[in-house]
A and B are shown apart, each in its own frame.
Chain A
């Protein structure tokens, strides 16, 4: 004979049971959620406390380090001054001034037959030469040297012949000015 299940309990009881079961589920889930949130809160608060302790330790270490560095203030000042001086000195030592460069250049370009009477170097590096030479070719050679880029190292802006004369003795007297490039 097959089992026959007859539910003798009233319908309302069954509905009540379903409601109760639902509520139990809701309670379990709700408690689970709130416990989780409480756990996360506690974790974050604990992490914050640890972090604050770490920051306090680092700050204490920093105070000591700052004192160490402050105690070496004179050494730091000396280093800054030394570096300041060395940077400035390096700009000048071994670097000739424009005046020196122009003087060296023009003197080097003078043909051997040209004798200098006066050479002046101005503040801007301009060169003024009074000289004599027995040879007209030397005058050409001199001017050529001064105006050609290959020989004047591209440092000459202009050459102006202030005066050129030839005496009865055949000696050329030249007065010329060399202006440097800026």
Chain B
């Protein structure tokens, strides 16, 4: 009986029931499958593009890193650190100052280490007090030789006293010798590599040329200690 009623009802209203079922099914498919999947597809397209971009970036970065000659790089870092080291390098600077003063026609009488440390911009400094004797006309040359030396230093202050003989002036020169600790952050996997410009290459060549005058400083960047501590 019930079945007959349903059949009769369906037959009477099938023109409305059938489209309603079609529309309902279509809506269910659209709401639960098409719409969320389409949204996820669009979102994942962006993710895919970013992953491709990252992949391309890392591939280029890996190629560039692998193309560097480790020895050359180590030598260049050594030269740069010799010019601008990570810590105070008294013995290196003392030897260098003797050479530079004699190159400028001056005689180095005494070097005294000043107390404490200072700052010059982003750099740290230690003070050296020089007592030199030479010609008055060579004072300018002395200052520029010191400031252009392969070891970075700046004139702090100076006092020159001229005696009877202008070829024998006594000069007290205070020098700020610069140094700076190594950077704390060396970049992550995703960070771009620094590029060495033409000016950087020229500077490196200049430092390399002056290298015999300074002692390169080596610095270990990776893990330290024994590979096997039990040996």
The A interface, classified by DSSP as helix, strand, loop or mixed, is: helix
Q: Is B37 an interface residue (CB 8 A)?
A: yes
Docked-complex contact A88 and B143, CB < 8 angstroms = no
Which residues does chain A contribute within 8 Å of B15, judged by CB atoms? 19, 22-23, 26
Contact yes or no, A96 B144, CB < 8 A: yes
**Mask: chain A, 80-92; 1 = CB below 8 Å from B; 0 = not:** 1111111011111
Most-contacted residue by chain A among B189, B196, B199 (CB, 10 A): B189
Summed over the interface, the residue pairs from A and B with CB atoms below 8 Å come to a total of 214
Is B2 positioned at the interface, with any CB of A under 8 Å from its CB? no
Contact at B65–A76, with CB atoms within 8 Å? yes
Question: Does residue A37 face the partner (Cβ distance < 8 Å to B)?
Answer: yes
Interface residues on chain A, number (Cβ under 8 Å): 68
Contact A48 B41 (CB under 8 A): yes
* B26 contact from A34, A44, A78, Cβ within 8 A: A34
CA separation between A115 and B136, bound complex, in Å?
11
Taking A69-B58, A103-B158 as given, write out 12 further A-B residue pairs in contact, using a Cβ cutoff of 8 Å, ordered by the A residue number. Answer: A23-B18, A30-B22, A37-B25, A37-B26, A76-B65, A79-B68, A89-B83, A89-B203, A99-B155, A115-B162, A118-B161, A119-B159
Residues of B within 8 A of A (CB): 14-15, 18-19, 21-22, 25-26, 29-30, 33-34, 37-38, 40-41, 44-45, 47-48, 51-52, 54-55, 58-59, 61-62, 65-66, 68, 70, 73-74, 76-77, 80-81, 83-84, 121-123, 136, 139-140, 143-144, 147-148, 152, 154-162, 166, 178, 180, 182-183, 186-187, 189, 193-196, 199-200, 203-204, 206-207, 219, 221-222
